[in-house]
Structure 1
C-alpha cells in the first residue's frame, strides 16, 4: 500500500521513534515541543484518523491499552520497522527536494491588482507589522530553556528556518512598500 506523505504522518512516526505513545501523548508532545508551528494537527479527530491510516498501512501498530483511573482507556502505538524505514525515506525526500507547497500569501499577491495600490500598501503594511511580532515571538522561542538549560539547536532548526523566512519576507515587503510609496510600482485596479 502506498501511503501519501504528510507532515502530520511524519510527526507521528518521528515521535514514535522515541518509544510507544498513546494519541493524547502524541498530541501533547507535538504542542509541547512546538511542532504545532510546522505541523497542522487541526482537530483531535484529524490525529486519530491519521493514526488509523498509519496502522492500516502497517507503519504503526497498536500495543497495550493503558488504564488510568483519571483518564479513559488509551491505546499505545508502536512504530513498525516499515514505519521507521518510511519515516527515513520521507525525511530524506523533504530535506533534499524543494517543492512548490502553494502557500496562500503568493496566491493573494497574484491577485493584488484587484485592489488599488494604496489599499495594497495598507494591507502589506499590516502584514509587515504582524511579521515583526511573529519574528519577535520566534526569536523568543530560540532562547527557550528546559529545566534551566538552553534547548539544543537541533531541536530548534525549524524555528531558525521560520525566522529566516519571516525576516526575508519582511525585507521584501519593505521593498514593495517603498516602491508603492515612490510610485515605481503601480497599477489600475480591475478585473483580471
Structure 2
C-alpha cells in the first residue's frame, strides 16, 4: 500500500522533471540548477532531495527504472514517473496555481515587530534590504536576458518573471516606507502604543 505524500515545491519539481525523461537524483539536481529552478525550489542540501525522492517512491508516484553502474561514478538509481505520479503532479500544479496559500515568511513577521528598533535603525536596516533587493533584481534581469538569448520560450521563464515583479514591488514599497520614516510621514507616539497595548489586556 502506498504512503500518502504532501505536495511541496521540491516534490512537484521532481515529478515535473521526470515527466520529460527518467533521471537519477544527481541528474534531477543538475537540471534544477541548469533550468534556473533553484530560484523557486530549495535544493541546497542533497539530503533533502534524496528524502523527497524516497517519499515519492514510497507513495508510488515514481518507480525505479534501472540501476546504472559505471567506472567513473558510483552506482546510480534511475527513477521514472508512474501514472499515479503524472496525475498527482497535474493535480498539485492546478491547486498551487489556483488556490493562494497562506505562508509565513520572515519579513512580515519582522515588520510586525519593527517597533523593537529605534527610528534611525529602522531606516538603516530597511535601506539595507532595499539595496539587497536591487541586487536581486539585477540578477533576475541578467538571468532573464541570458535565457532569452538562449532562445527559450517565455513560458519556461514565467517563474523568473514573477519573482522579478514581486521583488520590484517589494523594493518600491520598502523605499516608500524608508522615505516616510525619514520625512516624518510615518509617525507614532509611545502613549498611543501603550494605550493600544492596554486595550488588549
Range of TM-score over shorter length:
over 0.9
Aligned counterparts, 1:1-192, within 5 A: 1-145=3-147, 149-187=150-188
Q: Which structure 2 residue ranges, 5 or more long, are not aligned?
A: none
Shift of 1:151: 2.2
Shift of 1:2: 2.8
Q: Distance in 2 between matches of 1:188 and 1:9?
A: 48
- The C-alpha deviation readout for 1:44-74, integer Å capped at 9, x for no partner, is 1111111111000000001110112110010
SS in 2 for 1:86: helix
| Matched-pair contact (CA < 8 Å) for 1:144–1:151 | no
Q: Distance in 2 between matches of 1:168 and 1:178?
A: 15
| Matched-pair contact (CA < 8 Å) for 1:16–1:78 | yes
Give the number of aligned pairs. Answer: 191
- The C-alpha deviation readout for 1:92-132, integer Å capped at 9, x for no partner, is 00111111111111111111010011101110000001111
Shift of 1:42: 3.0
Shift of 1:186: 3.3
SS in 1 for 2:140: helix
Q: Distance in 2 between matches of 1:81 and 1:188?
A: 61
Structure 2-normalised TM-score? 0.90
Q: Distance in 2 between matches of 1:3 and 1:145?
A: 33
Runs of 4+ deviating beyond 3 Å: 186-192
Structure 1-normalised TM-score? 0.94
Q: Distance in 2 between matches of 1:149 and 1:24?
A: 24
Shift of 1:3: 1.6
Greater per-residue strand proportion? 1
Q: What is the CA RMSD across the aligned residues, in angstroms?
A: 1.8
